[in-house]
Structure 1
Amino acid sequence: MRTPLVVLTLLLVPVSACAVDTASPARAAERFHAAISAHQERAACAMLTRETADRLPARGQTCADALRELGLGPGGGVTSVSVWGDEAQVRLRGDTLFLRRFTDGWRISAAGCSPVRDLPYECEVED
């Protein structure tokens, strides 16, 4: 009787070790939209990947100016999260965001994204 219990325990360990964290990217996406909604564009810029923050502003603009000008709408609640290694997609009721995981947490690499039929997403903010 001891052997089946040991085997069952060993089979369960790898399954629990492979659980994908979907809560962290979801929280990052919600914090980004909360900052946008509160007109805290500088804080929202700090949540972007470096590449995205660098590409966003037009000549003579700051990242915050560019985000303010884009006027991203409210994100709304999370409807789904997909994670592939160090990348994630978070769908909110009012937006779709793409994120990348870094040592300091999840950062937004694209926001204001809409699906384009038979093509990748088109995004207002992207790297």
Structure 2
Amino acid sequence: MLVVLAAAVSACGTLPERRDEVTAEVTRFEQALGAGRHDRLCAAFAPATREELEQSAKSRCEQAIGQAIEERELPAAGAVREVDVYGDQARVVLEQDTVFLARFPAGWKVTAAGCAPRPQRPYECEIKGG
């Protein structure tokens, strides 16, 4: 029993490892944003987030994210200020944005971006899953 538990815990990774994974994913996301790589941005989204973006814009993800960038709904975020990991969920606070992620079998995926805090209320996010 102890061996099974130890194997399960080690498979999940330690908190510092998870923070590093999350930070790396957000860095890739921000680099794709800065480079205008809509295909990479779409690949970084969680399935429900990508689906919601496509349904809202009534177009493919690559076109929808391009439109969101043009309308300045997705800000250039700046440097990472804080990373919080809670099991398979994470929040990354950047200089100009907050990004939320979830862990999937294929790795960490962006569930919401373009998020701003609101006092006593949930974050307001420009891009989010349904």
TM-score for both structures, normalised by structure 2: 0.80
Across the aligned residues of Structure 1 and Structure 2, the Cα RMSD in angstroms comes to 1.5
Q: Equivalent pairs: percent with the same residue?
A: 34
Residue 75 of structure 2 corresponds to residue 73 of structure 1: yes
Change (3 A) 1:75 1:59: closer
Please report how far the alpha carbon of residue 70 of structure 1 lies from its aligned counterpart in structure 2 after TM superposition.
1.3
Please report how far the alpha carbon of residue 73 of structure 1 lies from its aligned counterpart in structure 2 after TM superposition.
2.0
Q: Give the conservation status (yes or no) of the 8 Å contact 2:90–2:100.
A: yes
Q: SS at 1:56's partner residue?
A: helix
Hey, what's the Cα distance between the residues in 2 that align with 1:49 and 1:60?
Answer: 18
State which of 33, 40, 44 in structure 2 corresponds to 1:43.
40
Stretches of structure 1 that go unaligned for 5 or more consecutive residues are: 1-16
Residue 110 of structure 2 corresponds to residue 108 of structure 1: yes
Number of the residue aligned with 2:88: 86
Hey, what's the Cα distance between the residues in 2 that align with 1:44 and 1:59?
Answer: 16
Residue 26 of structure 2 corresponds to residue 32 of structure 1: no
Count, aligned residues: 111
Hey, what's the Cα distance between the residues in 2 that align with 1:70 and 1:49?
Answer: 17
Please report how far the alpha carbon of residue 59 of structure 1 lies from its aligned counterpart in structure 2 after TM superposition.
5.0
Number of the residue aligned with 2:49: 52
Q: SS at 2:114's partner residue?
A: strand
- Which sits farther off after the overlay, 54-63 or 78-87? 54-63
The amino acid that maps onto 2:48 is E
TM-score for both structures, normalised by structure 1: 0.81
